[in-house]
Amino acid sequence: MTIKKAVIPAAGFGTRFLPASKAVPKELLPIVDKPTIQYIAEEAIDTGITQVILVTGREKGSIEDHFDISFELEHHLRSKGKNDLLKIVQEISEMVQIVSIRQKMPLGLGHAILCAKQIVGDHPFAVLLADDIVDATPPCLRQMIDVYNKLGKGIILAIKEVPREEVYQYGIIDGELIEDRLYTVNSLIEKPSVEESPSNLAVIGRYLLPPEIFEVLEGLPPGKGGEIQLTDAIARLGETYPVYGYRFRGERFDAGDKMGFFIANVKFGLKHPELGPRISEFILKTAEEIQKGYETH
């Protein structure tokens, strides 16, 4: 059975992005001219997902509004003859079937996924983190589902190599390469120290999970940081269920982190059809000024 439902958890506090994320969900901060979460929803749609389940929380209602019809705005744009903008706005609300559910307290990513249990039902499903953008063709999730369809079963985690000194920021796998880009995962550890880390292969924000994960999440105690960790649930289910890591093709940006967000803006800005040439010119000019500054000091 192939995967048609995707959960996008977006109920976290976003503490790494304060103060910007105090009243505005970090998932709505724009990468050039589109909110981060729209890139994520587009990846799901381009992959062939037919139902997106948003997990939102307090102060996050604007995320639902972003994907809803905005009658007043559409009326205003229509009456002003701004048809290009009208089309952009309408396309967002017509994208895909979006269902949303609230996580009443942000108790951790694992808990956020558990909130989607009833809507997901008894099917394998995808999870895309709302602040993790992957620039890839075909989309990262499509690559993963292609692998899943070949294997027919299993948990699949998107993985990438990270510098050894950064392993403490990620879930890290202990795995063996079995074919091009595909690893079997023997164990998983959330945010290990450099010394205890079994590899430098980090799990990033794309997962394919079976419905059995919900049962594990229901009985799971809080883990690192006092949060109900998805990594812990995967590690536990992995004792009886095959887990694979797939080293996807593409570039990943952590848009929930200030520096990752800035880099994503530069990279997507350079590719933007209208703004790209001006952004490139601006960067080159700024780099020249920085260089001159170094030379005169």
| Interaction site with ligand UTP (CB under 6 A) | 9-17, 27, 55, 103, 106-109, 111-112, 129-131, 256
How crowded is the C-beta side of 38, counted as CA atoms within 13 Å?
20
C-beta of 129 vs 156, nearer to ligand UTP: 129
Residue 95 beta carbon to ligand UTP: minimum distance, rounded to whole angstroms: 18
67-75: which pairs have CB atoms within 8 A and are 24 or more residues apart? 67/41, 67/92, 67/93, 67/95, 67/98, 68/93, 69/93
User: Residue 78 contacts by C-beta under 8 Å, 6 or more apart in sequence?
Assistant: 86
C-beta of 106 vs 245, nearer to ligand UTP: 106
C-beta of 107 vs 263, nearer to ligand UTP: 107
Q: Which residue is nearest to ligand UTP (CB)?
A: 12
**What span, in angstroms and rounded, lies between the C-alpha atoms of 150 and 173?**
22
Residue 16 beta carbon to ligand UTP: minimum distance, rounded to whole angstroms: 3
Residue 56 beta carbon to ligand UTP: minimum distance, rounded to whole angstroms: 8
Residue 52 beta carbon to ligand UTP: minimum distance, rounded to whole angstroms: 14
Residue 183 beta carbon to ligand UTP: minimum distance, rounded to whole angstroms: 23
C-beta of 55 vs 173, nearer to ligand UTP: 55
Lookup: tokens for 117: 């249990």
C-beta of 30 vs 276, nearer to ligand UTP: 30
* Buried residues in 218-235 as b, exposed as e (16+ CB within 10 A): eebeebeeebbbbbbbbb
**Are the beta carbons of 140 and 206 closer than 8 angstroms?**
yes
Residue 109 beta carbon to ligand UTP: minimum distance, rounded to whole angstroms: 5
C-beta of 55 vs 120, nearer to ligand UTP: 55
Tell me the one-letter amino acid at 24: V
